[in-house]
Structure 1
Amino acid sequence: MKAARIFGPHDIRYVEIETPSYGEADVLVRVKRCGVCGTDIAIYSGDMPYLRSGATTYPITPGHEWSGVIEAVGRNVTQLRVGDRVTGDVSLGCGQCAPCLQGDFNLCVARQEVGSFHNKDGAYAEYIAMPARQTYKLPEGASFDAGAMTEPTATVVYTVERVGIKFGDVVVVQGTGSIAILAAQVAQASGASCVIVTGRNDHKLALAREVGIDVTVNIQREDVEQRVHDLTDGRGADVVIEASGVGSEIRRSSRLARLGGRIGVVGIYEAPLESFDMSDIVLNDQTIHGTLASPRVFPGTLRMMAAGRIRCEPLITHRFKLSEAEDAFRAMIEENPTRIKIMLEID
């Protein structure tokens, strides 16, 4: 089969490799779509923390935001059939340890992450092999584009679950990428009374409003902290979700949150923070939640998307063929005010 594999920093090649084997409890999926994620770019650039720790090595096939059609099933698979349109989870656990038995596959010490951790080859390929227990049917009528957007949506559903958004909460989302705009929509669908998206890009802020976000703030032209305090009668936000991927913004998160507020951090920073004063967190009685992947939330995410509560397809702004993966990476890296989500088409 054909695949786009990363052989080292800034070295991605479209190559012929063997079609993956699959076990008795696995499925073999013909990939139709795969989104380009910041994680993929971090592997391509060599900045991914998993590379620094040795948990990921080159070469590797990236890609964990995918959808496709089942081509073959293992002999013990009963809930899925050849021809089913599916997507799948990113954290693949052993299924036997205590975290896995609770559904927390993302905490399994023996886990693999599709397209990255412990070199589970991903979906920048014509085929991907997946455990059936973490492969999910797409709702009737869902497009392959929407299927590929399920994983990033599930990631922010898990973040919203972790920070415990309550009915009537005021939520600030920092960032204007696909994860941020998805997080804002999930916060709304979870009962937030007001969602505020902050960022620097007017085009992306406009898109956030287009998909129904209440308030947007350009942090280059407005005092975002003052604006949030004005909108909350001086209290600050109940929840802040940091989805910009910019280290300096996590320091701002505490100033945007109210006393006793909750902060959710989604995404992996390419470099360690130079400084962060935890005294602000302690003295303001705030809580920071790190969130890794999307355990237990895929079925609920698919139902939410099928009900039309999340508009993900407007976020897809650029498309490339699998053979053009290097061009897709360049487009992801280059400054482009209109670029949000890049989708690889593998038809």
Structure 2
Amino acid sequence: MEPPVPVSGEVLVDVRRAGICGTDFELFTGEMPYLHDGNAAYPLRIGHEWMGTVSAVADGADQPWIGRRVTGDTMIGCGNCERCRHGFHHVCAFRVELGVRGGRPGALAEQVAVPVSSLHALPDAVDDAAGALVEPGGNAWRSVDAAQLRRGERLLILGPGTIGLLCAMFARAAGVEVHLLGRPGMSLDFARSLGWDGVWTADDLPDVPWHAVIDASNAPELPARAHELVEPGRHVVHVGLAGSPSFVDSRTIALKDVTAVGILGASAGLDSTIAAFADGSVDPRPLVSTTTSLEGLPEVLAGTHPKDRGPGPKIQVDVAAR
């Protein structure tokens, strides 16, 4: 591939670390819905969980960015429509999503060009591994914020994957009692090793009041279960997506006076995530099971995991590795 060339208002970033997301796997296998509804098409350069160092700027971008460690917003709105003008660029109808939607080349590469307006500086206290977890962290921070819990209240998270565990970390940092629900196996065993208040399967989930439920799973039956489990008058947050439609009975929502919140994108949570990673209140690095190289990436996407992989859910690419 030819090296990317930043256009006006953009910077060029030398990528140092990038995460492999479930969305990247779906784009690789062809299962990603965007491929079927016209929002994405091959060829596509994937990668939207990343950090790196700014190496060049184009016209309209400030020179002081050169040499700075950064990450960036995946969701890039048009900047002109009503949604963008009111702070909802992440749902702009004309948005592109880095490495995902609209053909914008992503960050699983040596370099990536991004708008300067999407950049977020990384302090030295946020190392490369944590920096490449800011994007999923932003989704998790927004999910916990949307749950509207007070200190000491009880949260149930459905799905012990990367987003679910990051939600648990942010919730615990806020003084919330954290429980996770998952299927028996390695993911649930790893979740237990992180010391939450409770880690359960469907067979042993206790019958207690759940003051909020976050669905971070990809199981089509769990959105409805979340609304059944949550306390009346409380919040259910949907950040996970199933590969097939999920059905929720609106009578359950209305008769329980439940608020259902959808989360798309990390935009509004990026700064808060960086701050939590920097001050140590949330340390996402245990979630990284191993790193691979760009040369090793195709095998990982095809389902062959590195032999040295640990129990965590996240594989990252060390772009400098060979």
TM-score with structure 2 setting the length: 0.92
**Matched residue SS, 2:225:** helix
Distance 1:25 1:211 in 2: 42
In structure 2, do the counterparts of structure 1 residues 19 and 267 end up closer, same or farther at CA, with 3 Å as the change threshold? farther
Distance 1:337 1:66 in 2: 21
**Matched residue SS, 1:297:** helix
How is 1:182-261 mapped onto 2 (pairs within 5 angstroms)? 182-192=166-176, 194-201=177-184, 203-219=186-202, 222-224=203-205, 227=206, 229-230=207-208, 236-261=209-234
Q: 1:307 aligns with which of 255, 279, 283?
A: 279
Distance 2:263 2:305 in 1: 24
Aligned to 1:103: 87
Quick one: percent identity of the two aligned structures? 32
Aligned to 1:319: 291
Distance 1:332 1:70 in 2: 32
Q: Which moved more, 1:260-269 or 1:109-118?
A: 260-269
Distance 1:29 1:136 in 2: 12
Aligned to 2:113: 129
Distance 1:296 1:257 in 2: 25
Q: Is the 8 A contact 1:67 1:148 kept in 2?
A: yes
Aligned to 2:237: 264
Distance 1:136 1:307 in 2: 16
Q: Count residues with an aligned counterpart.
A: 318
Aligned to 2:165: 181
Aligned to 1:87: 71
Cα deviations across residues 292-323 of structure 1 (Å, max 9, x unaligned)? Answer: 00222211210111011112111011321111
**Matched residue SS, 1:343:** strand
Aligned to 2:266: 294
Structure 1: runs of 5+ lacking an equivalent: 1-16, 231-235
- Following superposition, the deviation at residue 239 of structure 1 comes to 0.9
- Following superposition, the deviation at residue 118 of structure 1 comes to 0.9
Aligned to 2:26: 42
Q: Is the 8 A contact 1:247 1:269 kept in 2?
A: yes
In structure 2, do the counterparts of structure 1 residues 147 and 332 end up closer, same or farther at CA, with 3 Å as the change threshold? farther
Partner amino acid, structure 2, of 1:237: W
Q: Is the 8 A contact 2:227 2:252 kept in 1?
A: yes
- Following superposition, the deviation at residue 63 of structure 1 comes to 0.7
- Following superposition, the deviation at residue 39 of structure 1 comes to 0.7
**Matched residue SS, 1:173:** strand
The CA RMSD measured in Å over matched residues stands at: 2.1
Aligned to 1:233: none
In structure 2, do the counterparts of structure 1 residues 329 and 322 end up closer, same or farther at CA, with 3 Å as the change threshold? same
Structure 2: runs of 5+ lacking an equivalent: none
In structure 2, do the counterparts of structure 1 residues 76 and 285 end up closer, same or farther at CA, with 3 Å as the change threshold? same
Q: Is the 8 A contact 1:33 1:344 kept in 2?
A: yes
